[in-house]
Structure 1
Amino acid sequence: MSQDSSIGHLEPPDECCIYKVPQDFRIRKNVYTPLLVSIGPLHFGKVRLAAMEKEKVTCYEKFCSRLRGNWLDKFMSFLQLHETRIRNTYRYVSGTCPLSSDVFQKMVLYDSIFILEFFFSCHEGEKSGIILNHSLVKESLIRRDLLLLENQVPYFILGKLYKLICDSGFYISYPSLLSLSCKFLGIYMPWDEHDEIKVAHYTDLLRSAVVGIFPRDLERSTGKFEAIPTATLLKKSGVRFEPGGCILDMKCTRRNFLVWPCVLTIPHVEVNMSSESIFGNIRALENCGYESMSNHFTNFLYFMRSLINSEEDLDLLMTEKVVSNKLGDEAEVVKLFERVADGIAEPEHDLWCGISDNLNAQVTFRDV
């Protein structure tokens, strides 16, 4: 295993990156709040999440029983050294974190160990592990909770802890932290595990995987974004839908073919029980922490909502392998896209303006 090359950047971020989701986003509260386990200070001490706090103690004891050396002293020294910067990664609705230093550091320690123990238990397939004593439903809920914007510890902390225990000689044959994280959080990793990936936390990692991180030659446009026709109307005008790549790989290519003269390459989207939470949290992250010109996932939600205005549109995109429906109820999927795109303004970035130019030009050309 390459311990350093695929852990990611271990320097603490210089500013806030973990946010309390704004109130105007919280139409459906459970989209943004943990259902089973609290990670970090924003939901710390919630009574309804208390059961998993006992499990964290069990995790800590199990974790420590397997390791030798002074890794714990080194990690606690690391937390003490960086406590102020760790605290500054969190943004509260008002005020600052009320936890004392001792409580805050212990929380970060237990939460970090819980996350790694979750990955290790999944990787080892232990019969006595914390997770495998639970139902698959609970395991799924933990995965969901670990991706919530309000429920994070900075990734550099996990990276430091993982490096310390690897340096102690344990878990030496394990995959990289980046690989473990992506595998057991259900994140498709569109990069090589040895690439240096700058990761703020797991919501940010999820966004990077979906949007893309490397420079690309994007669509260019001299005009403004124009409303996108629905999927069924686009097909009637000669547009073929082709799944592939991440959001920054999207493109619309017009060709001089009699059959399907226009091809829209668009990322595949699986809609399941966790999708509304995933979509909502990435959108909230972009709203809180990104400039409007970098809100590519938010713009993608707007784009998908434009394509899907009816069950007929959804059926078409399912047939074209652009959308996979794991919810079953097609009407509910249409409503889901309505909800997650509610209130999004028209995109401004050239990528989206260029695609809208080509799609609308094709519709005008065919005079549909």
Structure 2
Amino acid sequence: MEDENQELIQFTEELHNLADTSLQNVLWDKRSIYKIPASVTALNRIAYMPQTVSFGPYHHGEDHLKPMEEHKQRALRYYLNRSGRRLQEVVESLNEEIQVLKDSYDMLGESWKDDKKKFLRLMILDGCFMLEIIRLATHSLDGYAANDPIFSSHGRLYIAPSIRRDMFLLENQLPMLVLYKLVALESDGAQDEEFVNELVLNFCYPNAPVSKLDKSLHVLDLYRKSLILEDPAWKMRRPRVKGGLLNVVNDIFRSATGITDVGIQFKKGKTKSLRGISFHGGVLELPVIVVDGATEATFLNLIAFERLHVGAGNEVTSYVSFMDNIIRNERDFALLRSRGIIQNAIGSHMAAPQLFNSLSRDIAFLPNSSLEGVHMQVNAFCKMPWNECRANLIHTYFRHPWAILCVTAALILFALTGAQTVYSIIPYYKSNHSTSPSPPMGFAAPPPLPTSTPPPLTPPMHPPRPSHRHHRCRCVQK
């Protein structure tokens, strides 16, 4: 009986805590690094797991990632030497924000919550290593040996790409606050958050201009913001959606080859922003995208972040869903590649078209998609009667080479038959045209035109010839 009362009291306290949701709402706002549910990772678990290095607590200590731990120690040592700071100063700087750092993780283990020193050590080691890797890809690092396996030209060529791939995994993120604090401590506050953002973006886009961005949650969040930068002019051109979700669901979007059949042309956009998709005057403009070995993992983690982080938006998910609609086979992929919209760095022409199909396998329809207006514009163009007839004609008669030859032969035969008919009618027409046709019924024949009678022909005048018969008569009389 006493145990039952104790359970009832405990249950009542839990209900009371649930009733006060204000604290829970505050915690939700602070979270930005999530453990991805098994229902999401089931289709492609390896795309969400680091392969070379761990950042943060979620994958720390995994056997296949342990070899990189010793290199983190060396990165910390070089950071301290370059900054002229003592380790204790770094610890104190991050300790000021330790609760904010812990609250960034959605499912932080109890051992990390309870052991403050262990958590700070992890943040410092991983933060310094990430900072050195970013600088490795963008600057020459002084102080490292030429034969260093990581921080050298060799590491930049062979190791940095795989580390870069792991840095864009949602479960493998560090709060951006760690990098902000480390850089500020190193430069005595001379380099601010904007400088760190620029440093990270130069790592994401080597040898390319970068834009200024606001404060970000982590590297993945910053990279996502760089992908969806919006030109103010796009808002003026963005169509207003009428009809809502029902119209879009009922419309079946055509593939790239199907879109060209109705007369729509594809054009390479001038921007790399995923928001740079527009449709105007029968031209569908798409941003350029480079497809490489890390594209699948990066986009899957961007989609997972939009799914789990409330308020993040759905721009990346909308883009992937849009591309999945227009790329359904190798011909669609080859068409976009020929227009310069997709740059294939995978090497396999078979694997590349399947990429967007695999990315969208677990994506539900987005009722408030940022590309909903473009979707409806393209469908409206495709439904115009002449465009539908054109598409049916091309699909039926001009899709395969043999069909084209048959249609061409039929047209030639029709032309020859027509020519033969014309040549057969011409003699008949000429013979009938020589006789005056009788006037149609109901109309009087026109009076004949007056004609002048030509004068009679007179024979030419010649002098009289002598008559031999007359002379003979005279001779006879004598």
Query: What TM-score, normalized to structure 2?
Result: 0.66
Distance 2:178 2:360 in 1: 33
Q: Provide the residue aligned with 2:105 in structure 1.
A: 90
Q: Which position in structure 2 is the counterpart of 1:31?
A: 47
Match for residue 269 of structure 1 among 284, 289, 299 = 289
User: CA contact under 8 A between 1:87 and 1:97: conserved in structure 2?
Assistant: no
User: 1:207-259, CA deviations, whole angstroms, 9 ceiling, x for partnerless residues?
Assistant: 11112267651332112323321000111112122222312232111x3xxxx
CA separation in 2, counterparts of 1:163 and 1:309? 48
**From 298, 305, 314, the counterpart of 2:317:** 298
What is residue 339 of structure 1 aligned with on the other side?
Answer: 358
Tell me whether 1:54 sits opposite 2:70 in the alignment: yes
Deviation at 1:104, TM superposition (A): 0.4
Structure 2 counterpart of 1:247, from 262, 274, 284: 274
**What is the CA-CA distance between 1:364 and the residue it aligns to?**
1.3
Secondary structure of 2:254's partner?
coil
Partner of residue 64, structure 1: 80
Matches within 5 A, 1:342-357: 342-349=361-368, 351-357=370-376
Corresponding residue number in structure 1 for 2:381: 362
1:1-368 equivalent positions in 2, closer than 5 A: 14-26=29-41, 27-69=43-85, 72-92=87-107, 96-99=109-112, 100-122=115-137, 123-124=139-140, 128=145, 130-132=150-152, 133-134=154-155, 136-167=157-188, 176-186=195-205, 192-193=211-212, 196-212=213-229, 217=235, 218-223=238-243, 224=245, 225=248, 226-244=251-269, 245=271, 246-253=273-280, 255=281, 262-291=282-311, 294-349=313-368, 351-365=370-384, 366-367=387-388, 368=391
Q: How many residues align?
A: 340
**Kept in 1: contact 2:34–2:308 (CA 8 A):** yes
Secondary structure of 1:324's partner? strand
Compare the two structures and name the one with the higher helix fraction.
2
Contact 1:182/1:189 (8 A) holds in 2: no
The equivalent residue for 2:5 is none
How far the C-alpha of 1:339 sits from its partner, in A, is 0.9
Contact in 1 for aligned 2:318/2:370 (Cα 8 Å): no
Distance in 1 between the 2:377 and 2:209 partners? 27
Q: Percent identity?
A: 26
Instruction: Note the C-alpha offset of 1:48.
Output: 1.4
Cα distance in 1, alignment partners of residues 28 and 210 from structure 2: 22
1:306 CA drift (Å): 0.5
Amino acid in structure 2 at the alignment position of 1:248: R
Distance change (3 Å), C-alpha of 1:198 and 1:213: farther
Consecutive unaligned residues in structure 1, runs of 5 or more: 1-11, 256-261
Distance 1:69 1:125 in 2: 18
Letter of the aligned partner of 1:240 in structure 2? Q
1:274: how far off? Answer: 0.5
2:435 matched residue in structure 1: none
Following TM superposition, by how much is the alpha carbon of 1:269 offset from its aligned partner in structure 2, in angstroms?
Answer: 1.5
Give the secondary-structure state (helix, strand or coil) at the position aligned to 2:363: coil
Aligned partners of 2:52 and 2:166 also within 8 Å: yes
* 3-state DSSP of counterpart to 1:90: coil
> Is the CA contact (8 Å cut-off) linking 1:17 and 1:200 kept in structure 2?
yes
- SS of 1:167 mapped into structure 2: coil
CA pair 350-117 structure 1, distance change in 2 beyond 3 A: closer
CA offsets 1:80-115 (integer angstroms, 9 cap, x no match): 2221221111112xx634221111000000111111
Unaligned runs of 5+ in 2: 1-26, 392-478
- Alignment RMSD (CA, Å): 2.5
Matched residue type, 2:165 = R
Q: Give the match for residue 424 of structure 2.
A: none
| Matched residue, 1:7 | none
Match of 1:9 in 2: none
- State the TM-score, normalizing by the size of structure 1: 0.85
Q: Is the CA contact (8 Å cut-off) linking 1:279 and 1:340 kept in structure 2?
A: yes
Contact 2:198–2:210 under 8 Å retained in 1? no
Equivalent residues of 1:227, 1:356 under 8 A apart: no
Matched position secondary structure for 1:134: helix
CA distance in 1, matches of 2:287, 2:204: 19
Moved more, 240-249 or 44-53: 240-249
- Distance in 2, matches of 1:159 and 1:117, equals 14
- 74-83 or 52-61, which deviates more: 74-83
Q: Which has the higher contact order (CA 8 A, sep 6+)?
A: 1
Q: Distance in 1 between matches of 2:207 and 2:358?
A: 25
Cα distance, 1:14 vs. partner? 4.7
